[in-house]
Amino acid sequence: MKAITIDQKKCVGCRNCEMACAYEKSQETCEVMFSNIRVSDYVGRGFVVPMTCFHCTEAWCMKMCPAHAITRDPETNAVIINPNRCAGCKMCILSCPYGNIHFDHVHMVSHKCDLCGGKPRCVTHCISGALRYEEVGSDGLRYRKDVLPEETRG
Amino acid sequence: MQERKTYHSICRMCGSGCGVDVEVENNRIVKVSGNEENDINRGRICIKGSSAATWLNLPERLRKPLKKTANGFVEIPLEQAMDEIAAKMKELQDTYGKQAVAGWKGEGTGFNQNEQLMRRFNRAIGSPNYFSNNTQCNNSRYEAFYLNYGCWPQADFRHTKLAIFWGTNSPAAHSFWTQDLNEGRDRGARSIVIDTKYNEQAHIADLFVIVRPGSDAVLAYGIIHRMIERGVVNQEYVDTFTLGYDKLKVYAERFTGEYVEKITGVKPEVIETIVDMIQAAGRQVCSWPGTGVEHQANGVSNSRVCSLVDALVGAIDVSGGMLINENMKTNSLVLGDDVPVEGEPIGKSVYPVVDYFKKESHTLMLMDTILTGKYEGRDYPFKGLIMTAADPVMTEANTAKTIQALSSLELFVVKDLFLTKTAELADYVIPAACNYARDELYFNGMEQSVYLAEKVVEEPLQTEYEFLKGLADRLGAGQYFPWKNEREVIEYMIEPSGFTYEDLQKYPSGLRTVLVHYHKPEERLAKGEKPFPTPTGKIEICSTVLEQFGYPGIPTIDHLPDCILQKDEEYPYICMTGARKIPYFHGRYRNIPQILKAHPHAEAEMHEADAEDLGLKEGDMIRVTSRVGSIEIPVHIMKHDTIARSAVQITHGWENANANYLTDDSDRDPISGFPNLKTFGIRIEKL
Ligand code: SF4
């Protein structure tokens, strides 16, 4: 199973992911309110982290949606909102424990990450390498990678 | 339905050169993504890179040549434009001499190949000059590195143990360095960011140090002083490979903790921590001077001294330090001294070191020469300028003077993708083919690899080669442009390497031409050769080149800006410009609609306490006035001590709040002639 993983300590807060997502989804703007990934930059505490949907195994948003607008894509495992079915009630926004669903005030529907059909645009714009789209364990955690021996270049 | 094809090429939305996959449908670029096979950026690009698909397809792209008439611009056929331009150039050269006309290379459509072509063109038509924006970006560091090492070393962030960033924000300026450093951090690297302002780079730093504007080199000397006192200098290395260490030692003595704190605002204990970190990193240190330190009145010295921090621990040409890079042999397009020119290069007599290393004329002095008809008191008519994809109205210090000078030329030609503010001043505007509509050779220094920045679309527009060749042919200099097209140019360039154009095509994600190997200076020394390509073969801490031209040999910081020594009552705040923002590149991309919506205007960034003193809230409009000019701009308040007190940062490139109306073209570095863009006094009024 592939998922977007976040290595917080690598994030520089450049917001390329936000801009890329907003444009990919809207095709007209890079404004953050149209993005499914959001960077929280706590400048005073020196902490910055991008947040996007985890596509939870037990997705509360999906259970909660009264319009049955939220389904799981069998191919990518993404939890997806169908905007044509979405009634704009915001129950999913309330039910997501991580704040990863957002509201589009123009079209009056909720929106969230859909993994771009398996080619997440945020990841390919993450210039720091903090975001990766990779195979993860069933717990959603990154596989432990053997640390490569230091290259002996010099 | 049209088939969608994906090509590998190189992004030209900034100068970094990320590998990209360009998807083309119906001869139209529809999507740009990172090329995963490219070792430089490993599939990741910034928003500028992918936005090329919008930018290059904008309806405002210039498609027809324009000629300025009494009724404004009118479209004319390309051949007519070329004939008229060439005829006028000839007339100006015949009337005023060959020095009266020259070309200025911008960065909108290509890389180094375009620079070489423009240099070739200028010499071919008998001009002693070559102009580019390097007069105020890059050249100071070029000279600094060449003075120190005889070459421009590359930082090996992937394997370093300690990276020190001086006035540089790689997420905005060299995006893939962020990945490189994070890879290094996976292996235990640490980093220090020294800047006047908290930036993206600082987010992943182990230590972020705020310095007062213009004082970086004082801190660098403070560090060096303590490295010497604490014995954190690799004495054997210094004795074997450097020249002038003793002089540096004496000069560094004045940078006591007390003095450094007074000038920079950095406490002695912070310097101790920095020295501890350097000590712990052994020889794996990269101390990288950015544009922040070169855009100052001591720009060359600042860059030299910041860069010496790693040399003193012997971190040169070792893995995790500064690579002395090698590359494949190529034929240069630049013509030699055997091709005669008329007149003297503008700037050479005043800034001989620039000429020594870079053979580049000085654009700020060009403006004065155009306006006065004199260079250094001598008659010097300069009447015609051919400019490719540069926008000095947005980027050159002293915009008002720049506009006045460019408007008074008898012939001003701009070739660009869009009708820029600079192009508006031109007599002729020639639409430019974009980088994806022609081939170019591209090199990466750290990987020691070569790439074909490949043509992926056909545009019915003229490339820079066709433009320069077309003019040269008409001016009787056609013999210097014998190649039919860019492909033939590239074939000529790579001929000595043994590689062919087909090889480049076969490896669109890069061809490693020379494998990276380290400790070359040690090997050369053992063979009795010069370890470094400087005149003495050593790292010249005390430069023989500078001494030859009458400058002090060691980097001296003698001209600290007045405003950091004492508060100027008339202009009490210190303005800095030139910091880049992620989605923009200098004067470009404000016309990409989706980006402009997210980042709609310029801002004057200032400390919250300063804003409070001035009674300013976020977004309030202010008038900023320097000795040169004034602009109106909204305020952005930087909280949590993320900018130095009394400092105001204004990013350049905004038409309606152009920071270069404030910058002074006459306050310059004595070696490179760089304008001081980082420490000039301003006053602020609330509107
Ligand atoms: S950093 Fe961005 S604009 Fe610059 S080359 Fe890479 S993708 Fe292109």
Instruction: Kindly report, residue by residue over A79-125, the tens digit of the pLDDT.
Output: 999 999 999 999 999 999 999 999 999 999 999 999 999 999 999 99
Angle among Cα A111, A115, A120 to the nearest 5 degrees reads 120
Kindly tell me if the per-residue pLDDT of A148 is higher than 70. Answer: no
Interchain pair B178, A28: CB under 8 A:
no
* Closest residue by CA, ligand 1 atom 1: B175
Domain B66-138+329-512 has CATH 3.30.420.40: no
How far out from the chain centre does Cα B572 lie? 29
Q: A–B: how many Cβ contacts below 8 A?
A: 118
Contact residues, chain A to chain B, C-beta under 8 Å: 9-16, 19-20, 22-23, 26, 28-32, 41, 43-44, 46, 48, 121, 123-130, 150-151, 153-154
ipTM, two decimals: 0.96
Q: Residue B175: which of A15, A48, A127 has the nearest Cβ? A: A127
Which residues in chain A are contacts of B582 at CB distance < 8 A? 14-16
Chain B closest CA to A26's CA: distance in Å? 9
Of B10, B64, B59, B5, which Cα lies nearest the Cα of B29? B5
How far out from the chain centre does Cα B134 lie? 6
Q: What is the pLDDT of residue B455?
A: 94
Are the CB atoms for B425 and B393 separated by under 8 Å?
Answer: yes
Rounded-to-integer distance, Cα B117 and Cα B485, Å: 12
Q: What is the pLDDT of residue A141?
A: 64
Of B436, B402, B432, which Cα lies nearest the Cα of B416? B432
Interchain pair A125, B319: CB under 8 A:
no
Regarding the domain with residue range B154-323+532-547, which homologous superfamily does it belong to in the CATH classification? Answer: Dimethylsulfoxide Reductase, domain 2 (3.40.228.10)
Q: Residue B43: which of A31, A46, A124 has the nearest Cβ? A: A124
Record the tokens describing residue B544, joined without a space.
Answer: 């023989």
**Ligand 1 binding pocket mutation candidate from B8, B9, B10, B11 (most atoms within 8 A of CB):** B11
Interchain pair A127, B50: CB under 8 A:
no
Q: Would you place residue A153 in the very low, low, confident or very high pLDDT band (cuts 50, 70, 90)?
A: very low
Domain B5-56 has CATH 2.20.25.90: yes
**First-to-last C-alpha distance (Å) of chain B:** 56
- Using DSSP's 3-state secondary structure scheme, residue A54 falls into coil
User: Best interface-test mutation with B: which of A26, A48, A127 has the largest number of B CBs within 10 A?
Assistant: A127
Q: What is the pLDDT of residue B129?
A: 98
CATH number where A109 lies = 3.30.70.20
Alpha-helical (H) ranges within B7-101 are: 47-55, 78-96
Q: Nearest residue of A to residue B36 by CA position?
A: A124
pLDDT cut 90: percent of chain A above it: 83
Ligand 1 center from residue A111 Cα (angstroms): 29
| Mean pLDDT computed over every residue of chain A | 91
Which residues in chain B are contacts of A150 at CB distance < 8 A? 159, 187
* Closest residue by CA, ligand 1 atom 4: B14
Q: Would you place residue A147 in the very low, low, confident or very high pLDDT band (cuts 50, 70, 90)?
A: very low
Q: Nearest residue of A to residue B179 by CA position?
A: A128
How far out from the chain centre does Cα B454 lie? 23
Rounded-to-integer distance, Cα B414 and Cα B393, Å: 12
Per-residue pLDDT tens digits for B543-577? 999 999 999 999 999 778 877 778 889 999 999 99
Record the tokens describing residue B486, joined without a space.
Answer: 């860019």
Instruction: Give the start-end residues of each E strand in B313-410.
Output: 322-323, 374-375, 378-379, 384-388
Q: What is the pLDDT of residue A27?
A: 97
Query: B460: how many CB neighbours lie within 10 A of its CB?
Result: 9
Domain B562-686 has CATH 2.40.40.20: yes
Q: Would you place residue A154 in the very low, low, confident or very high pLDDT band (cuts 50, 70, 90)?
A: very low
Per-residue pLDDT tens digits for B217-244? 999 999 999 999 999 999 999 999 999 9
What are the residue ranges in chain B where pLDDT is below 70? Answer: 1
Rounded-to-integer distance, Cα B171 and Cα B179, Å: 9
Q: What is the pLDDT of residue B560?
A: 85
Interchain pair B185, A9: CB under 8 A:
yes
Ligand 1 pocket by Cβ (under 6 Å): B 11, 13-14, 16-18, 45-46, 48-49, 175
Q: What is the pLDDT of residue A152?
A: 38
User: Best interface-test mutation with B: which of A5, A7, A9, A12 has the largest number of B CBs within 10 A?
Assistant: A12
- Across B101-115, b (16+ Cβ under 10 Å) vs e yields bbbbbbbbbbbebbb
Kindly tell me if the per-residue pLDDT of A138 is higher than 70. Answer: no
Ligand 1 center from residue B488 Cα (angstroms): 27
User: Residue B79: phi, psi to the nearest 5?
Assistant: -60, -40
Q: Please give the number of the atom of ligand 1 that sits closest to the Cα of B34.
A: 7
Which residues in chain B are contacts of A46 at CB distance < 8 A? 203, 208
Kindly tell me if the per-residue pLDDT of A143 is higher than 80. Answer: no
Rounded-to-integer distance, Cα B590 and Cα B450, Å: 31
- Interstrand relation of B242-243 and B539-540 (parallel, antiparallel or unpaired): parallel
Which residues in chain B are contacts of A121 at CB distance < 8 A? 50
- Give chain A's domain count: 1
Rounded-to-integer distance, Cα B440 and Cα B417, Å: 17
User: Best interface-test mutation with A: which of B182, B193, B209, B323 has the largest number of A CBs within 10 A?
Assistant: B182
- Residues with Cβ within 8 Å of residue B359, at least 6 apart in sequence: B119, B130, B345
Kindly tell me if the per-residue pLDDT of A144 is higher than 70. Answer: no
Record the tokens describing residue B300, joined without a space.
Answer: 């060359």
Tracing tokens 């001009």 back to the chain, one arrives at B127
Q: Please give the number of the atom of ligand 1 that sits closest to the Cα of B174.
A: 1
Rounded-to-integer distance, Cα A148 and Cα B365, Å: 54
| Residue-range definition of the domain harbouring residue A131 | 2-152
